[in-house]
Amino acid sequence: MKTCYLYFLLLIGIVSCNVPTEIPVADKAKPADEFARTFIEKIISGQTDSAFADIQPEVLNDEAKEFITNASLNINGEIPMKYRVVEANWTSGVDSKTGKFMYYRLGYEYEFETRNILFTTIINDNDGKLLVSSFNGEFLSAPLSELTKFTMTGKSGLHYIFLVFCIIVPLFILTTFIIMLKSKMTIKKKVIWALIILLVSLPKFLINWNSGQLDFKLLNISLLGSGFFKPTLYSAWILTFSIPIGAIIYRFKRKSLSTDYVQDEYSNDNYENELS
């Protein structure tokens, strides 16, 4: 009965998980955020020549100009009602040719009267000079919160099988971990087996919950062997589970490990008797 209750709680936790529809912009990224939004607003309002001036010269080719011009024409002068920041990340480092560099990846969902548009940009910060190094715009069939929410509607048998494994694996690991803690082993062995049971799970299988696309990673360290996440606010949910190798090994070795404990205790008793 307790196991069924845990299954129910985990299932409810996954299905009912909600994410915010907007993320805050850190102070460090605010100049790039303002620059990116100004660039997007130029495209929306049809100021394409001014938008071209904000793009890095090495990526401003005829194809890029055509894409931005078509994007502006397709928006057709519509006025956005509001926008939401759906991604705000940055990467910094040192290049042997250009020296220090900083890239900001910023994503926005603009809401118009009849449709929503997802804009994604990469802003290059070169010694305080901001330029666009990448830009994309995508018309959405519905708000991102609807397109990327976790739902069971229209899912295949593969989705359900994957979800079951995402629930069973951590339950199996937790159950095995509790059994191990209650077993007769030395503290040192329990610590070692706790790490093996909780962390040794491979390979990792992944599913894109929206598209059903599968992937796997051979080597990984995964706590409890299961998880779910969204890389960005405009990404689909990714569910993962791993084969609980550590827990399975313990289940097979459980009796012998307890036997070793008994033998160790017996040897210690004999040693103490000999000393006395």
- pTM, full prediction: 0.72
Alpha-carbon gap, residue 104 to 147, rounded angstroms: 25
Residues in the chain: 276
> Could you read off the pLDDT of 161-215 as tens digits, one per residue?
999 999 899 999 999 999 998 888 888 888 999 898 888 888 889 999 888 888 8
Strand pairing category for 99-111 and 214-217: unpaired
Domains of the chain from N-terminus onward:
21-147 (3.10.450.50), 157-263 (no CATH)
Taking only the tens place, the pLDDT of each residue in 53-75 is 999 999 999 999 999 999 999 98
Q: pLDDT tens-digit profile of 128-148?
A: 789 999 999 999 988 888 888
Chain centroid to CA 248: how far? 27
**How far, in Å, CA of 27 to CA of 10, rounded?**
37
In 3D space, the residue among 50, 105, 108 whose CA is nearest the CA of residue 80 turns out to be 108
DSSP secondary structure string for all residues of 127-149: TTEEEEEEEEEEEESS-HHHHSS
